[in-house]
Chains A and B, each alone.
Chain A
Amino acid sequence: MKKKDFRKFLSENIVALDGAFGTMLQRKAGNVGILPEKLNLEQPELIAEIHREYAAAGADVITANTFGANAAKAGALSDELIRAAVKIAKNAAPDRYIALDIGPTGRLAEPAGDMSFDEAYDIFAAAVKAGEDADVILIETMSDMTELRAALLAARENSDKPVLATMTFMNDCRTFTGVSAECFALVASPLADAVGVNCSLGPKELLPIVERLATMTDKPLIVQPNAGLPDSHGSFPVGAEEFAEYAGRFLDLGVRIIGGCCGTTPEHIALTAALAHSRRPAPSRYVPRAAVCSATRTVFIDGVRVIGERINPTGKKAMKAALIAGDWAYAARQAVEQTEAGADILDVNAGLPDIDEPAVLTELVRRIQRVTDLPLQIDTSDPTAAERALRAYNGKAIINSVNGEERSLDAVLPLAAKYGAAVVGLTIDEHGVPQTAEERIAIAEKIITRAAAYGIPEHDIYIDCLTLTVGAQQEQAMRTLDAIRTIKSRHNVRTVLGVSNVSFGLPARRIVNSAFLTAAMWAGLDLPILNPNLPENMQAIAAFNVLTCRDKGCAEYTRRYTDADLSITESRKSTTTAADGANDLRALVIKGLPTADETNRLLEAGTPPLDVVNGMLIPALTEIGDAYEAGKAFLPQLLASADSAKESFTVLRQYMPAGGENKGIIVLATVKGDVHDIGKNIAGTVLENYGYRVIDLGKNVPPEDVAAAVKKYNARLCGLSALMTTTVPNMAETIALLRRECPECKIMVGGAVLTEEYAASIGADFYCKDALSDVRIASIVLR
């Protein structure tokens, strides 16, 4: 029989996949050793026999024995094993579709692990190329979003074959790394031809997960359950009849591709395939909904959702300085603060002149997604920067923005379509900012039409009707609201608006901002971009949700504001006043108590910032440091004081000339292969408190990156950490490279396995035995 194109076959039929391969191998060959794919070369007839049994059972798709044949697991043999497997399968079942099976690498990807997106991509791309003779690509048993995305993009960009993608979930509807069914559907659907679940659970346990998935994806659903949960001897309890019964229930849910995973056999597949072939496809249960997500959290845009505006250097001196200096910790802190203040989505912008925007924006996205599970809005006018950031982002992002100019439409919409991102449509074009609501509507509709041509649905377009400044064009505020009302009445788009620009140049801006925000929500604004740390913004939204019955029974409002003292939420002034003058801050630091209020009080009372540093903070840190060294204070006390001093420094920095307290630059990194960086983080906090500028490169840092940073910042001291005996060689390698490339830089090292002697033997200048050693060393080197 001549095979149809697989996509056409899938559009007309329910497709039967084959069942477990490992189970069959064990049945036939017993213990199969480290790499079962080696049998593709050693015993091809055995592999062919299993394929023939599944073909005889009625499977439409035969999965080649390539699950673990990627380069991460099979090394240099990978290519040969994959080619052999596809050939065996084609010969054994010439009239069936042959699937190239792509399983996980076995390594854990960033941010949790040490494999970068690019490494994963290269591994999968090589497998896709080696398997070019297959008809279908089956990406399966994934549990990590980075790895899944790398595999999907590698398949899409190196092949035109249909791509089926499944993840493996636990009972709580999440994968091991926390990916939910909803996040998976949002991220994978735009990149795959079919999405679904396999492995880990039996059919009964998978039913509720498939139910959730079914409403979330517009793509055909695929399910490959295990034959139940294995007992302690490794046998699977669900027999062929029971399995097929559940298969029927999956087909009722609209599942279009069905097969088996661990523990299933040709007997299971025979009954299941017969059932699949006797049934007509049930209609899809997909419910189109506006939503974005990170790897672990989905935000539905079915009410007002707050986009936090703080990670943007425009008009924000401290953020600008942090981006130029590579101070990622500052941006991370903004991310955590906005998350805790109740933002739903975070805008991320690195637009500065004279900055490598694609590189900085991408790094910013990587750093921020480590500390928040909120979805991100990638804010740039540079399409190259947007694409690089979209590749790095582990979820469904919003691109901010496209506008009505041809150049913008042609550059941005294909990116939104390819990565499945939502997109902000800015209602300006080559003629500039339109003065009437009608003109804005016209541009919005142009964007909507052009997006539709790329397959971007209306609910993924967020129209920005522009906030102008009432100080300059007073009547424009009402035009903006008119435009919002009209566009919402005509289209299923969402609307977005940067709110605070409205009051530019006016006194007491918050009063006007808050009123405009309220009016805009009543006009139909879904996504205000604002500062969630300002209470009146969140209060206006809470009130709106009460008045529009979104906050059912006023429950959320009551929870949040029952005990709220509105007299202090206006500005976060301290209610605790210092009893008596100068030594209080010092006492607060020694006790490890909050210091921001007292620091502000001192500054408002006219105390020069440097007096606060030299007269209070440094003496306090010295006192607690001495006590720690003498064994009179313990690590928790030292850290509490360090945090407390850092809080005060954060306030002081705004009042001090840039670089005023800078005693020298220190580059810190946890070496390549090592992801345990708690000691390095503590060192960073302590060093900053003593006035050093710390460039923290993070963990798992390649030697070249350390050398590059030392050169870039002309650092005279570099600190390296390693936890394991097995990563110390990478530390030695980093030191050797620094010696060659930056001979003037001194090196200090620390970590659980190091000793004074060990540190000397790998060529370090200094050994850090505890949390204060680095300060002593810095004071010698950077004197």
Chain B
Amino acid sequence: MKAPREEILRYLGSMGHEPDERLCTRIDDAVSAVTAAASPRSVFRRFGFDGSLIGTGYSPAGKDVLRQLDGCSAVYLFAATLGNGVERIEEQAFARGDSLGAVLLDAAASCLIESFCDDECERIARSEDVTLTSRFSCGYGDYPLEHQADIIRLLDAPRRIGLHVSESGMLMPRKSVTALIGVLGNGYSPADAAAHTADKCRRCAALNCPYRKAAASYDNGGQNSRSPA
């Protein structure tokens, strides 16, 4: 897991801000504190895919997720969490009167959960010898947040990794991710494959999003809330 300073600043809507030495130290401290408080865990399951996850009766809804999985005959359901130790240290920071500290912890945790997901997905791709699409989560595009509960249930996530979903579709612990990931078939041309694995920011319609990244990939940190645009 890693959380570069510039990523953390981007989460704070402070892209282009050159942090001074003091802020750099505080960012580094936040990353160490989150790393120490986190207990990262993940779970995944592979399913055959024909528009629904074969054998489960579950079908993802929305044209965006289906476009993402177009041509995939297998998918992985994936979930990961940093655990709830992170929330506790954030609350402690606020209680101490250190709101900057709390916000830096929050941003560091958002970076670290994404980075952890990247690590885990790479591990899956290697160990299962597959090429994966990028992660697609409830709340992206028109994939309804209400599906969060189905994913949690199909993964038995409360029991496997202690990840829950609230009645309002919010993941708890907060610094958690669930996603559908497609398995790209062998017949894919590199160009088609690139369309599936390309950077989410570039594919997103929210052109004025303050978190929009110029290049490389970006996943919505922690919660999969709909983009504000």
Q: Is the CB of B145 within 8 A of A724?
A: yes
Given A634-B17, A678-B106, A681-B99, A114 contacting B90 (CB threshold 8 A): no
A730 to chain B, nearest CB (A): 7
B25 at interface (Cβ–Cβ under 8 A)? no
A-side contacts of B103, CB under 8 Å: 635-636, 639, 678, 682
B88 at interface (Cβ–Cβ under 8 A)? yes
A-side contacts of B98, CB under 8 Å: 643
A40 to chain B, nearest CB (A): 19
Q: Is the CB of A31 within 8 A of B55?
A: yes
B33 to chain A, nearest CB (A): 13
A-side contacts of B146, CB under 8 Å: 726
Query: Binary interface profile of B, 87-99, with partner A (CB < 8 Å = 1, else 0)?
Result: 1101110111111
A-side contacts of B9, CB under 8 Å: 634, 636
B70 to chain A, nearest CB (A): 25
Q: Which residue of A lies closest to B98 (CB)?
A: A643
A457 at interface (Cβ–Cβ under 8 A)? no
Q: Is the CB of A178 within 8 A of B223?
A: no
Q: Is the CB of B225 within 8 A of A723?
A: yes
Q: How far is the CA of A564 from the CA of B166 in the complex (A)?
A: 48
Interface stretch of the complex, out of B167-175, B179-187, B193-201 = B167-175
A180 to chain B, nearest CB (A): 13
Instruction: Give the contacting residue for B95; candidates A371, A650, A727; CB below 8 A.
Output: A371
Given A177-B84, A635-B13, A724 contacting B95 (CB threshold 8 A): no
A-side contacts of B56, CB under 8 Å: 31
Q: Is the CB of B95 within 8 A of A332?
A: yes
Given A371-B91, A642-B99, A199 contacting B85 (CB threshold 8 A): no
Q: Is the CB of A676 within 8 A of B170?
A: yes
B108 at interface (Cβ–Cβ under 8 A)? no
A-side contacts of B66, CB under 8 Å: none
Q: Is the CB of A673 within 8 A of B168?
A: yes
B141 at interface (Cβ–Cβ under 8 A)? no
A29 to chain B, nearest CB (A): 13
Q: Which residue of B lies closest to A141 (CB)?
A: B159
Instruction: Give the contacting residue for B145; candidates A107, A643, A676, A726; CB below 8 A.
Output: A726
Q: Tell me the A658-701 residues at the B interface (CB within 8 Å).
A: 673-676, 678, 681-682, 685
Instruction: Give the contacting residue for B168; candidates A141, A335, A646, A727; CB below 8 A.
Output: A727
Query: Binary interface profile of B, 140-172, with partner A (CB < 8 Å = 1, else 0)?
Result: 000001100000010000110110101111101
Given A31-B56, A333-B96, A112 contacting B14 (CB threshold 8 A): no
Q: Is the CB of B100 within 8 A of A673?
A: no
Number of interface residues of A (CB under 8 A): 63
Q: Is the CB of A640 within 8 A of B168?
A: no
A interface SS class = loop
B-side contacts of A673, CB under 8 Å: 166-168, 170
Q: Is the CB of B159 within 8 A of A178?
A: no
Query: Binary interface profile of A, 620-664, with partner B (CB < 8 Å = 1, else 0)?
Result: 000000000000001111011011001100100000000000000
Instruction: Give the contacting residue for A336; candidates B96, B99, B164; CB below 8 A.
Output: B96
B-side contacts of A172, CB under 8 Å: 39
B-side contacts of A725, CB under 8 Å: 139, 145, 225-226
Q: Tell me the A307-360 residues at the B interface (CB within 8 Å).
A: 329, 332-333, 335-337, 340
A362 at interface (Cβ–Cβ under 8 A)? no
B-side contacts of A619, CB under 8 Å: none
Number of interface residues of B (CB under 8 A): 58
Q: Is the CB of B23 within 8 A of A646?
A: no
B100 to chain A, nearest CB (A): 4
A205 to chain B, nearest CB (A): 15
Given A681-B102, A753-B228, A726 contacting B87 (CB threshold 8 A): no
B64 to chain A, nearest CB (A): 15
Q: How far is the CA of A636 from the CA of B166 in the complex (A)?
A: 31
Q: Is the CB of B170 within 8 A of A675?
A: yes
Q: How far is the CA of A158 from the CA of B179 in the complex (A)?
A: 41
Given A107-B166, A675-B172, A724-B225, A636 contacting B97 (CB threshold 8 A): no
Q: Is the CB of A112 within 8 A of B145?
A: no
Q: Which residue of A lies closest to B170 (CB)?
A: A724
Q: How far is the CA of A646 from the CA of B41 in the complex (A)?
A: 37
A104 at interface (Cβ–Cβ under 8 A)? yes
A523 at interface (Cβ–Cβ under 8 A)? no
A583 at interface (Cβ–Cβ under 8 A)? no
Q: How far is the CA of A373 from the CA of B85 in the complex (A)?
A: 11
A370 at interface (Cβ–Cβ under 8 A)? yes
Q: Is the CB of A635 within 8 A of B12?
A: yes
Instruction: Give the contacting residue for A636; candidates B90, B94, B100; CB below 8 A.
Output: B100
Choose among A170, A176, A336 the residue with the greatest number of B CB atoms under 10 Å from its CB.
A176
Instruction: Give the contacting residue for B158; candidates A104, A232, A373, A636; CB below 8 A.
Output: A104
A108 at interface (Cβ–Cβ under 8 A)? yes
Q: Which residue of B lies closest to A178 (CB)?
A: B85
Q: Is the CB of B99 within 8 A of A675?
A: no
A592 at interface (Cβ–Cβ under 8 A)? yes
B62 at interface (Cβ–Cβ under 8 A)? no
B19 at interface (Cβ–Cβ under 8 A)? yes
Query: What are 21 A-B pairs at a CB distance below 8 A?
Result: A108-B173, A141-B159, A176-B161, A178-B85, A329-B94, A332-B91, A634-B13, A635-B103, A636-B12, A636-B19, A636-B26, A643-B100, A646-B97, A647-B97, A673-B168, A674-B168, A681-B102, A725-B145, A726-B145, A726-B168, A752-B228
Shortest 7 CB-CB contacts between residues of A and residues of B = A176-B162, A673-B168, A634-B14, A639-B100, A332-B95, A108-B164, A634-B17
Given A176-B39, A640-B100, A752-B228, 14 other A-B contacts at CB below 8 A?
Answer: A108-B164, A112-B84, A141-B159, A178-B84, A371-B95, A636-B26, A647-B97, A676-B170, A723-B170, A724-B145, A724-B169, A725-B145, A726-B170, A754-B228
